[in-house]
Amino acid sequence: MNSILKIEKLHKKYYTKQGEITAIKDISLDVKEGEFVAIVGPSGCGKSTLLSILCGLTEKTEGKITFPNPNKQKLGYMLQQDCLFPWLTILDNCLLGLKVEKKLTKEKKEQVINLLTTYGLKDFIYKYPKSLSGGMRQRVA
């Protein structure tokens, strides 16, 4: 099977006022196409740090990450907290990225509504996050 993600000897240290924190120490991993991979470990072992590095939210300290197929390089990351803005409707939460990047068009708005419909959220687009269940909020996120 083709490899879609290769992690080699990854290290991550955080530098804080209190000192150096080793979050990841020498992780290597090869993910093949079609595989489901679960990263399991106690709180604070570096799971979130690893995902943040893969998505480019945090810099690695050492090591190599490769995506052998450049078409598979786009990664989505479902955060533990949904991070929806409570003062925006579901639709406005979903349109925010496009608005900030000044890429919002009528067609894109329709596309967003279609996606929300696919996820069973059509009746909630003008509601606020507080009136949705945890699972619904995650689907919005």
Minimal distance in Å, beta carbon 3 to Mg ion?
A: 25
**Could you say whether residue 16 binds ligand ADP (CB under 6 A)?**
yes
Pseudo-torsion of CA 1, 60, 72, 141, nearest 10°?
A: 120
Q: Is 58 in the site for Mg ion (CB under 5 A)?
A: no
Binding mask 44-83 for ligand ADP (x = CB under 6 A): xxxxxx----------------------------------
- In Å, how far are 46, 47, 78, 99 from 41, measured between CA atoms? 8, 7, 18, 38
Closest to ligand ADP by CB, 43 or 81: 43
- Of the candidate spans 38-46, 61-69, 85-93, 125-133, the one that interacts with ligand ADP by CB under 6 A turns out to be 38-46
| Identity of the residue numbered 131 | S
**Least separation in angstroms between CB 50 and ligand ADP:** 7
Residue 60 is encoded by which pair of tokens?
């690695």
Positive or negative CA dihedral for 14, 17, 18, 20? positive
Residue 48 lies near Mg ion (rule: CB under 5 A) = yes
User: Residues 14, 54, 65, 92: which binds ligand ADP (CB under 6 A)?
Assistant: 14
Among 97, 92, 76, 100, residue whose Cα is nearest residue 127: 92
Q: For 59, left (φ over 0), alpha (ψ -120 to 50), or beta? A: beta
Site residues (vs ligand ADP, CB under 6 A)? 14, 16, 21, 23, 41, 43-49
